A and B are shown apart, each in its own frame.
Chain A
Amino acid sequence: MSEMWQEAMIAAYREMMNRAVLFLPKLMAMVTFLLVGLAVGWLVKLLLMHILKVVRFEVFCERMGLTSALAKGGVKQRMSDLIGRFSFWVVFLFFAFMGVDALDLPATANLMSAILGFLPHVIAAILVGLLGILLANFSGEAVLIAAVNAQIQGARFMANMVRWGVIIFTGAMVLTQLGIAKEIVVAAFSIIFGGIVLAMAIAVGLGGRTIAKEALERRLRREKAGDEFTHI
């Protein structure tokens, strides 16, 4: 009985030691991946921020209204800092997932391939989001200035409508790109835009019928409330 117990203990100990011997290199590989990830991530961040500084990316963001758009959303950091930080985390997570994959655990067997497969969607969503914000600010600004120059009283309202319209449209595209509740997003988007168009149609058709008629008449008859002299 005692021998059997002894053999069982030794077998268990050997088994555990064998597993430990097999697992330790994997653990070390994971730690190495994490350390390399930290170093590479930091380097990429530094390099990227330097390049962005050289190409005056911050000035570009200010010009395109991206900085002010982020500030309105409560983000006080500079755009290049955000991109630097984001690049660090992307690189670090990439190495971290490689480390987890190196552990060869059954639970994380397909983690890396799944993440790599999803990464293009995330990058595309980020790009779509950034372009959307730029476009929204640009269009809003253009509409505001044009409406002010045309002396339309609701200039700011019109500009905000355009800006938020583009932002909502962008948000819907980002969510669709990420595959989050696709059907709901499409339905919600259709309802919101359809609703806005319907509301405007009713408003013009019922409330502003006379104004719309006069405006159309003026336009078609080319009647302009112009100045009494030419400016050039």
Chain B
Amino acid sequence: MEDAVWKAVQEQCPDAHQVDLLIALPSFNHASTIGSVLKAILAGLNASFANASILIVNADVGSQDGTPGIVKQTVGDLVPVAVIQPLGEGSSASPFALNRLSYSGMPGREEAFRSFFVLTQRLQAKACAVIDANMRSVTAEWMSLLVKPVLESGADYVAPVFRRPRYEGSLTNNLIAPLTRSLYGKRVGCQVGGGYGFSPKMASTLFQKKFLWEGEAARFAIDSWLTTVAVAEGFQVWQARLGAKVQDHKAGAADVATSLVQAVGASYHYMEHYQDVWEKPTASSAVPEVGKPMETEVESTPIHVERMMKGFRQGLRDLLPIWEVILAPETLAGVLALGLKDDEDFRFPLALWVQTVYDFAVAYHEKAIHREHLLRSLMPLYLGRTSSVVLETRGGGPEMVQHTVEQGCQTFEAMKPYLVDRWRFQ
């Protein structure tokens, strides 16, 4: 695959042996959006990197709507551009790819990123920015926000942070980010998609680490593990405040359970790999951020918790035999007691939630039941906790939600010894 990708670029851009910036766009039937994305990118490059040598690479995984043609047409002669097909070695036929496909909404996304990492290495690029072709909210400023920290401040990985309504990204805010923070000691938002910035060091490391692409890891979408691996490997992580996130495909909206399996599964999976890193006690620290400060918005439509509560109560009724295997007895007792509360008085205590997440991590490690089943059976508990957060905070403003999320992060950190003890001595 490595040589094929390089050959494809060389054929289209024979003069591109070394560049300063590699701008990469993975795409699949994104004809309706990729033109405007490219225009914003070109404006950004013109404004911030007018003197840099640049190559734009579009990794298209078989669009039927003429996406590659639009790329060539939009870029024209302004910047060298190459269109490659990243799929190779039968990777598209992997049965494990089905889950991550429905999560990211794009086939071959992981192979596209791998191709970008190869090209960053081969072209000796000083930075690589990956922008999703389905984004409607890309602005010229994104280029500077994603690339400058790498070029000027020594960042290895620039993760995106978006302005969102207060309950948006509930799984990320209540589970993934606090877990990552307590494990690896970095206060990162763990938001996914849109745009990323990579240093050549990070790109080359990610490409060379085979465990990220093979075996069980191949089940997880790249967006679900990029930040985790970056902080676990000790890379210089920055966050870029990119403003609003408007995209054609709403990731995670189709199937919450699949999103949960992908995001939580990746976190648990890499806990096994980076055990030596996270087992050490660490106090968390903030990561540098670029971009204008953003305020959390209030949701435009009121959030109804009835459906989520129903999901939690059904889980309590039907999944008890499975939870008995996964949860520690005291955690299970706490969860059972929640079933006695009325909907309006319902509260899923934070400490109990953290204990639940840690128990699931230990059970995942111990392979207490089939791992996919284990992750999916977390779903009703997650709905219970999310309902509780909404009920606790809906009277207050966005700051109250942020305060609750921060409290969650601190509790995750404070209860880390519980996880370490159970992980070691279960």
Write out the residue numbers on chain B whose beta carbons fall within 8 Å of the beta carbon of A227: 256, 303, 307-308
Determine, out of A43-51, A102-110, A141-149, A208-216, the stretch whose residues face the partner at the interface: A141-149
Bound together, the chains give a CA A226 to CA B304 distance in angstroms of 11
Bound together, the chains give a CA A231 to CA B260 distance in angstroms of 8
Q: How many pairs of residues, A versus B, come closer than 8 Å at their CB atoms?
A: 93
Cβ-defined partner of A148 (8 Å) among B259, B302, B315: B315
- Tell whether, in the assembled complex, residue A229 and residue B167 are in contact, meaning their CB atoms are under 8 Å apart: yes
- Tell whether, in the assembled complex, residue B379 and residue A149 are in contact, meaning their CB atoms are under 8 Å apart: yes
Bound together, the chains give a CA A63 to CA B256 distance in angstroms of 25
A107 CB to closest chain B CB (Å) equals 52
Q: Is the C-beta of A187 less than 8 angstroms from some C-beta in chain B?
A: no
Q: 0/1 per residue, B288-308, Cβ < 8 Å to A? A: 000000000001011110011
Bound together, the chains give a CA A194 to CA B107 distance in angstroms of 40
Q: 0/1 per residue, A144-171, Cβ < 8 Å to B? A: 1111110101011000000000000000
Write out the residue numbers on chain A whose beta carbons fall within 8 Å of the beta carbon of B377: 145, 148
Q: 0/1 per residue, B252-264, Cβ < 8 Å to A? A: 1100110110010
Write out the residue numbers on chain B whose beta carbons fall within 8 Å of the beta carbon of A156: 318
- Tell whether, in the assembled complex, residue B369 and residue A232 are in contact, meaning their CB atoms are under 8 Å apart: no
Bound together, the chains give a CA A65 to CA B367 distance in angstroms of 12
Q: Is the C-beta of B373 less than 8 angstroms from some C-beta in chain A?
A: yes
Q: Is the C-beta of B251 less than 8 angstroms from some C-beta in chain A?
A: yes
Contact A232-B373, Cβ < 8 Å, known A145-B322, A225-B307: no
- Tell whether, in the assembled complex, residue A141 and residue B252 are in contact, meaning their CB atoms are under 8 Å apart: no
Contact A148-B252, Cβ < 8 Å, known A138-B370, A141-B370, A141-B373: no
Q: Is the C-beta of A228 less than 8 angstroms from some C-beta in chain B?
A: yes
Determine, out of B43-51, B142-150, B169-177, the stretch whose residues face the partner at the interface: B169-177
B284 CB to closest chain A CB (Å) equals 22
Bound together, the chains give a CA A148 to CA B323 distance in angstroms of 13
- A window 186-232: CB within 8 A of B: 225-232
Contact A228-B314, Cβ < 8 Å, known A63-B368, A142-B373: no
- Tell whether, in the assembled complex, residue A146 and residue B376 are in contact, meaning their CB atoms are under 8 Å apart: yes
The closest CB in chain A to the CB of B314 belongs to: A148
- Tell whether, in the assembled complex, residue B380 and residue A149 are in contact, meaning their CB atoms are under 8 Å apart: yes
- Tell whether, in the assembled complex, residue B319 and residue A144 are in contact, meaning their CB atoms are under 8 Å apart: yes
The closest CB in chain B to the CB of A156 belongs to: B318
Write out the residue numbers on chain B whose beta carbons fall within 8 Å of the beta carbon of A65: 369
Most buried by A among B263, B369, B379: B369
Contact A148-B307, Cβ < 8 Å, known A141-B373, A229-B299: no
Write out the residue numbers on chain B whose beta carbons fall within 8 Å of the beta carbon of A63: 367-370
- Tell whether, in the assembled complex, residue B314 and residue A230 are in contact, meaning their CB atoms are under 8 Å apart: no
Write out the residue numbers on chain B whose beta carbons fall within 8 Å of the beta carbon of A145: 319, 322, 373, 376-377, 379
Bound together, the chains give a CA A75 to CA B416 distance in angstroms of 40
Write out the residue numbers on chain A whose beta carbons fall within 8 Å of the beta carbon of B62: none
Write out the residue numbers on chain B whose beta carbons fall within 8 Å of the beta carbon of A138: 370
B355 CB to closest chain A CB (Å) equals 21
Bound together, the chains give a CA A146 to CA B257 distance in angstroms of 9
Bound together, the chains give a CA A230 to CA B256 distance in angstroms of 8
Q: 0/1 per residue, B343-383, Cβ < 8 Å to A? A: 00000000000000000000000011110110011011000
Cβ-defined partner of B322 (8 Å) among A59, A141, A225, A230: A141
- Tell whether, in the assembled complex, residue A232 and residue B171 are in contact, meaning their CB atoms are under 8 Å apart: yes
- Tell whether, in the assembled complex, residue B307 and residue A230 are in contact, meaning their CB atoms are under 8 Å apart: no
Q: Is the C-beta of B399 less than 8 angstroms from some C-beta in chain A?
A: no
Bound together, the chains give a CA A144 to CA B303 distance in angstroms of 28
Most buried by B among A59, A65, A230: A230
Write out the residue numbers on chain A whose beta carbons fall within 8 Å of the beta carbon of B280: none
Q: Is the C-beta of B192 less than 8 angstroms from some C-beta in chain A?
A: yes
- Tell whether, in the assembled complex, residue A230 and residue B250 are in contact, meaning their CB atoms are under 8 Å apart: yes
- Tell whether, in the assembled complex, residue B314 and residue A155 are in contact, meaning their CB atoms are under 8 Å apart: yes
- Tell whether, in the assembled complex, residue A151 and residue B314 are in contact, meaning their CB atoms are under 8 Å apart: yes
- Tell whether, in the assembled complex, residue A232 and residue B263 are in contact, meaning their CB atoms are under 8 Å apart: yes
Q: Is the C-beta of B421 less than 8 angstroms from some C-beta in chain A?
A: no
Q: Mind listing 18 A-B residue pairs with CB under 8 Å? A: A62-B325, A141-B370, A144-B322, A148-B311, A148-B379, A149-B376, A151-B314, A155-B314, A225-B307, A227-B256, A229-B168, A229-B170, A230-B168, A230-B250, A230-B251, A231-B170, A231-B252, A232-B171
Instruction: Spell out B's residues near A (CB within 8 Å).
Output: 165, 167-172, 192, 250-253, 256-257, 259-260, 263, 299, 301-304, 307-308, 310-311, 314-315, 318-319, 322, 325, 367-370, 372-373, 376-377, 379-380, 386
Q: A148-B315, A149-B257, A227-B256 are in contact. List 11 more A-B contacts (CB 8 A).
A: A146-B376, A148-B311, A148-B319, A148-B379, A149-B380, A153-B314, A156-B318, A227-B303, A227-B307, A229-B165, A229-B168
Instruction: Spell out A's residues near B (CB within 8 Å).
Output: 59, 62-65, 138, 141-142, 144-149, 151, 153, 155-156, 225-232
